[in-house]
A and B are shown apart, each in its own frame.
Chain A
Amino acid sequence: MRKISRRDFLKLSAAGTAVLAIESQLNPLAEAMELMTGGRSVNRTSHLPRSFLPSTCTQCPAGCGIMGYVEESRLVKIGGNPKHINNQGTLCARGQAGINALYDPDRILKPLKRAGGRGKNRWTTIDWRQAYDEVAKTMQQIRSNPAQFVYLTEDLRQDMLGRRFTNAFGSPNAIGAAAIFDANKKVATELTWGAAGDMPDVARTKYALIFGANPMESHPQFVGFVRRLVDGIQQNQAKVVTFDVRLTNTSALAKEAYYVNPGTYSMLALSMANIIMSEGLQDSGFINQWTNVSERDLAAHLAQFTAEKAEKETGVAANVIRRIATEFARTKPATTVSDGMASSHLNGTQNERAIMLLNVITGNVDIRGGLCLPRQYDLADASPVPPAPVASSLSQPAELPLAGQQSIERSLQMIQDRKYPVGVLMSHGYNPVYSNPDGDAFAEALKDDSLIPYHVAVTPYMTETAALADIILPETTYLEGWDIEARPSPEQVPYVALRQPVVPPLQDSKSFFDIATELSTRVAGGMESYFNFKSVEDYIDARIAGISGLMSAGGLNYLKQYGIWYDPKSKPDYGAYATGGFQTPSGKIEVSSPRLEQQGYSALPNYDPVPAFNNLSKDELVLTIYDTAIQSDAKTANCMWLDEILHDNPVLINPQTAASLGIKDGDKVTVVRTARTGDGVRSPGGTGVDAKARSVQTTAFITEGIHPRVVAMANGVGHTGFGRIAQGKKVDKSSVERVLRDPNTELVWWGEKDGTGVNPKKIVPVMPEPAGGGQAWGDVVVTVGKSSD
């Protein structure tokens, strides 16, 4: 074998790079290979090429490009779209298992009308005409009071059509669930640099400090992000340091991984900032030109956060904090990665701002390899755009003026507490009974028709929430519908992608576009004029009309062929703020936030300890609910290939803790929320902070890989609805509609053997963080004991 010299190797690499239009650190050889071979598939027996259509995955918020491979109008495989800028032909487990969701044996394929009391699970099949008539009729009944129409959806940013429908009806109450997770982060970033969110440029960085995020298992840009992070580590020799409460897949590839006391990120970050400033390692030029604070004031504020104090609070040794802080400041470029969990505490907004500060004072803002502004096309709604109705107390909480967005857990609580009258509730692809804190309480509300007189569920599946509907409109899955997607780009180059049906809607299911159009025509009263499109393609066309580059490349036809468009000449426009400034009132990075100050919070990033964690007794532990690479929240539990891998969620306990509690591996245990949970929560409703369910039962999994004061359970399992697969039951083929049949459903084995876990979110009370309004998922205090039975 000819030995390849390093020079040859580099030459080969250089040749590979030319294939890419976009500058990238990606391994060029592999890249060339993927581009040559990816995006095709052959039949296993005949070796004949399969036909395909590009589309977009929505199994999680990352929005990877997929290829749907079809044989005889059946989807046979989901592969990656090699042209997609995020995932470049690769896919995660969930993306590939989407086919299980399409052919879920318990998918609803015909409209259903409740035949017994709500939640009694008795249904009659009706035809679409009757379904439309009934829904339209009840909507018309509240026509004079349209704000009584409440529309709940998973993520409003991805459900433009839902907002359009609600606005067209005249209701302000299109409420998205995404806020439940990242509201605090969105608020913190918005206040600080005028853009919601961030995008660490991990492919090009030299140093990544990860706070309470776990990108190797879950991240809003999962595939697109991790492949770049790993490239950063391998190609760029980036050093990765993580701070988490448990051992994660991310720590497997990190140079250093530290356990940290829960809820103490801001202390950690601020003490690092203090060290950087006091050692003079800051980027004074950047601070002076681009922030609204003076170095002196900032240094003076930070002085209180000494490494010693931080050691006491965070559990991370002072010398480690010092070393990491100086390494971070001295390595250029560097970035932080912080995600949902950093902001999912009652001090979430401050946590996020403190972490951002590290990038700000070291001048790592929106530079190559630094913490970048999110880059994405801002897609306008298609004209004519329905006017936005005046906000309601449900849609724009007065007590959360900073949020500028919603707080769904709070909205649901207002409904439960009769603080806001509902006429018609429409839940669309959203399962709050399972996903929200205190889901049992919302389930109660849904059962009460004096609270919610009419509940329309638009969903392909009988979820825990849909089971409490009056009428179910069987929507198509993401693989059978249209939409336009523009999400933050981990490549730092904005793009527009298409979701198009890879197979036609199964049986009688209909896309939300068709449902919204048909309903608005029947409800009428002016509403229909906003749904006057010749076809869904017409509507999509209208939405991309403003993107001239795409239009000249061929518009919708281009997207239908390639699935994605981005400006082929565009390179990441780092530092674009230099011309127009930041989108904050001052045009600068508001390290000191007057808007926060106005609301009575510290203007400068600060450390407010989580009240519930103050002086925990010996047996009080903090519950962390974490995402895994296998399941996405409530969305993927009906995918058997995923459930086979992850179907239960024992509670992770450190051996020391377990020993002091007398718990052994495999013991049945009860996790009980203590009264301390919710300390310091300003409850907007009236119910206070007491979730209906107080405890869950599971088994103990003793592992060294968790902080002794923390116990953790995986998210995404423990369904009590959502069909038989999600509940680990075998499905007899003959009980299934022909189009949905798959002999594998008879082989489901885990339900009998291991069970399907429990949903720990139901013991979490509603706890909106006061500034951002996001749920403080991380602030649950529990005790764990052996179950008596």
Chain B
Amino acid sequence: MAKKRYAMLIDMRRCIGCHACTVACKAENAVPLEVNATWLKIIEKGKYPDTRRYFLPRMCNNCTDAICARNCPTQATYKRDDGIVVVDQHRCIGCKYCIASCPYDVRFINPLKNIVQKCYFCVHRVESGLVPACVESCPTRAMIFGDKNDSKSEIAQMLATNATEVLKQEMETDPQVFYIDADETVMSNVEKKINYRAESSLIKLRL
């Protein structure tokens, strides 16, 4: 059998923007306040009355070509055989170079532990035969997780039968979080006229 390759698929035709995944991750992985391993981006487009809202759950893409791992000076961040990119919490020195390198802004310094963390596809659950916490909680089953090299898996079938996109393809990181039917604007910040209301204070100086 082919080597395992874990991946996530988020079906935006099913996502209701409820934040259950966000909170599930906090609960499962003791992610402190201030930081998020997964979160939701919500935008509104259009002019009244032709308006529409779009969601995008965001998390580490566990990239095949993970820049974070390539740039980590201590190999604290590394890719496992099953494709999951993990951070060895005892080895990480907190140089934060991985955060600066990742094109997806999905890594963070845990303010209680002073180490860098991110979504690691709930490795501890996956190894015990469970699905990740966010996947389990999602009320509308918008998230599908599994081994995409196992053709019998739901994710392999969904990937084979649906058009999917990934974030920032041009970064050539080969992300392993796939989206079905995600809006192109919410996936990038291409629009010149973005109102960064929610992010106006996103720069948080930790001096």
Contact = CB atoms under 8 A, between A and B. Distances in A.
Q: Is the pairing of A and B real?
A: yes
Interface of A: 1-4, 6, 9, 12, 27, 29-30, 33-34, 37-38, 40-45, 47, 49, 77-80, 87, 89-93, 95-97, 99, 216-217, 222-223, 226-227, 230-231, 233-234, 247-253, 257-259, 629-630, 640-642, 644-645, 654-656, 665-666, 701, 703-708, 743-744, 747-749, 753
Given A1-B160, A259-B48, A93 B20 contact: yes
Given A96-B23, A249-B16, A748-B33, A30 B51 contact: no
Given A252-B53, A705-B44, A747 B32 contact: yes
B137 A37 contact: no
B27 A96 contact: yes
B137 A226 contact: no
A629 B18 contact: yes
A167 to B, nearest CB: 38
A4 B32 contact: no
A350 B19 CA distance: 35
A659 to B, nearest CB: 12
B26 interface: yes
Nearest to A657: B48
A77 B27 contact: yes
A80 B137 contact: yes
B70 interface: no
A96 B156 CA distance: 29
Which of the listed residues B111, B136, B161 has the most CB atoms from chain A within 10 Å of its own CB?
Answer: B136
B17 interface: yes
Given A90-B139, A249-B18, A640-B33, A78 B48 contact: no
Contacts of A753: 201
Interface string B1-45: 000000000000110111110111011111011100000000010
B20 A92 contact: yes
Contact of B52 (A30, A87, A89, A252): A252
B197 A701 contact: yes
B139 A749 contact: no
Contact of A252 (B16, B22, B112, B144): B16
Contacts of A253: 13, 16
A258 to B, nearest CB: 7
B139 A30 contact: no
Contacts of B124: 42-45, 47
Contact of B23 (A41, A222, A642): A642
A89 B19 contact: no
Contact of A77 (B28, B47, B131, B148): B28
> Lowest 6 A-B CB distances belong to which pairs?
A747-B33, A216-B16, A230-B140, A2-B151, A93-B23, A252-B53
B48 A644 contact: no
A79 B197 contact: no
Given A79-B136, A93-B20, A3 B54 contact: no
18 contacts: A4-B161, A41-B125, A44-B29, A79-B136, A90-B20, A90-B139, A93-B19, A96-B27, A97-B27, A216-B16, A216-B17, A226-B18, A230-B141, A250-B16, A640-B33, A644-B33, A744-B112, A749-B34
B23 A97 contact: yes
Contacts of A2: 151
B8 to A, nearest CB: 14
A744 B157 contact: no
B136 A704 contact: no
A480 B100 CA distance: 45
Contact of B14 (A80, A230, A630, A707): A230
Contacts of B133: 79
Main secondary structure on chain A at its contact with chain B? Answer: mixed
Contact of B157 (A9, A249, A629): A9
Contacts of A252: 16-17, 52-55
Contacts of A49: 128
Contacts of B55: 249, 252
Given A41-B130, A97-B23, A708-B48, A90 B17 contact: no
Contacts of B23: 93, 96-97, 641-642, 645
Nearest to A2: B151
Interface of B: 13-14, 16-20, 22-24, 26-30, 32-34, 44, 46-49, 51-55, 111-112, 124-125, 127-131, 133, 136-142, 144, 148-149, 151, 154, 156-157, 160-161, 195, 197, 201
A749 B201 CA distance: 12
Contacts of A249: 16-18, 53, 55
B48 A656 contact: yes
A705 B51 CA distance: 6
A666 B33 contact: no
Given A93-B23, A251-B52, A630-B19, 20 more contacts: A1-B160, A3-B160, A33-B131, A33-B154, A34-B131, A43-B124, A47-B127, A47-B128, A79-B133, A93-B19, A217-B18, A226-B140, A249-B17, A249-B55, A656-B48, A704-B46, A705-B48, A747-B32, A747-B111, A747-B112
B16 A230 contact: yes
Contacts of A47: 124, 127-128
A665 B195 contact: yes
Contacts of A95: 20
Q: Identify the interface centre among B52, B111, B137: most chain A CB within 10 Å of its CB.
A: B137
B160 to A, nearest CB: 6
Given A1-B160, A216-B18, A654-B48, A227 B34 contact: no
A30 B154 contact: yes
A1 B51 contact: no
A641 B27 contact: yes
Contact of B13 (A44, A234, A247, A629): A234
A642 B24 CA distance: 11
Contact of B24 (A96, A250, A645): A96
B139 A91 contact: yes
Contacts of A704: 44, 46-48, 51
Contacts of B129: 37
A80 B130 CA distance: 13
**Residue with the highest number of chain B CB atoms closer than 10 Å, among A34, A222, A249:** A249
Contact of A645 (B22, B32, B201): B22
Contacts of A250: 16
A114 to B, nearest CB: 33
Contacts of B28: 44, 77
B51 A247 contact: yes
A96 B137 contact: yes
A290 B13 CA distance: 38
Nearest to A645: B19
A223 B151 contact: no
Contact of B197 (A44, A96, A666): A666
Contact of A99 (B14, B27, B128): B27
B151 A1 contact: yes
B136 A258 contact: no
A259 B47 CA distance: 12
A748 B32 CA distance: 10
A714 to B, nearest CB: 14
